[in-house]
Amino acid sequence: MPEEARFVRLIFAWIGLNRLSLREVCRRLQQAGCRTRSGTTRWWASTLHGMVENPAYTGTAMYGRFRAVEPKPRLRPIRNHPAHSSRPTTRVPVPNEDWVAVPVPALVDPAVAEAARAQLEENRRRKREQSRGPGWLLQGLVVCRRCGYAYYGKATPGLAECHRPGAFGYGAYRCIGSDGHRFDGKAVCTNRPVRSDRLERVVWTHIEAVFNDPQRIAHEYRRRLTDLASESQPDADVGEIERRIGALRRGVGRLIDGHADGVIDRVEFEPRVADLRARITQLEEHRNALAAASRPDAT
């Protein structure tokens, strides 16, 4: 439709020729009530990125640029998203030579499109230069209790000037919900930013407390192993585990024979036996837990 084509041309010209920021382009499109292909009037920089990188606008539609794979496990759940999807939903790029090119009518002058692409590349380069340094240790890991959005790190010019050697970083962590510009001008959270050095020190104190308590680490480690084992082999029964323990014991026997015959020297022998024995112990624990759970009189 001609209206849509007009906006597509405008987007490329705003980015490539007028060198507007992607945020400014989003703002203008929203103001004009322009809709994305999915039908909303909310525009994101990532949508514009996708358009500029898409060769279909300059006359070559490419099929198979991405394929879907299983999503990687996340550090924490995303706000307002289901815990995890059973479908493969993560898009990964496919090598160029596997794309299928189909000629389509060009909407955008190739020179303008090239300028827009160069501008995005320039933005990326500038961002890389800015992001040198220690980075934000807790970005995305700290979640706001009030609104549920994550905290992100933001440098504060005033703080950067009082540079102290040995400090973690200078700036503050802000709740994403407290940024009005991300929510059509109205922040959804009133929590104040936290100075990064203070927050990092508090978190580090907690980490230190965990490190100084080996019992706690061992307990958590075993708990995760059991979780993992019960997740990956829901049908593993005691018999199957016995079989694996038997195989590992025979492995230990072979190592001992090899060592006695002088085939395996001591430096190699000891860690390998220790490793096998640790796995046997772990499986035995798992087997005992399973046996206890399946006993009808278990308390």
Which residues make up the interface to Zn ion (CB under 5 A)?
144, 146-147, 175, 177, 189, 191
List alpha helices for the chain, DSSP H.
Answer: 2-16, 22-31, 45-53, 110-130, 157-161, 196-211, 214-232, 238-260, 266-294
Cβ 22 to Zn ion shortest distance, Å: 24
Cβ 153 to Zn ion shortest distance, Å: 15
CB 79 within 8 A of CB 148: yes
Cβ 148 to Zn ion shortest distance, Å: 7
If the CB atoms of residues 142 and 276 are measured against Zn ion, the closer one turns out to be 142
Taking the CA atoms of 145, 146, 148 and 151 in sequence, report the sign of the dihedral they define.
negative
List alpha helices for 32-165, DSSP H.
Answer: 45-53, 110-130, 157-161
If the CB atoms of residues 185 and 296 are measured against Zn ion, the closer one turns out to be 185
If the CB atoms of residues 144 and 241 are measured against Zn ion, the closer one turns out to be 144
Q: d(Cα 207, Cα 165) in Å, to the nearest integer?
A: 22
The residue to which tokens 């949508």 are assigned: 47
If the CB atoms of residues 168 and 183 are measured against Zn ion, the closer one turns out to be 183
170 secondary structure, DSSP code: S
Cβ 175 to Zn ion shortest distance, Å: 3
Cβ 177 to Zn ion shortest distance, Å: 4
Task: Dig out the tokens for 7 from the structure.
Answer: 């906006």
If the CB atoms of residues 108 and 175 are measured against Zn ion, the closer one turns out to be 175
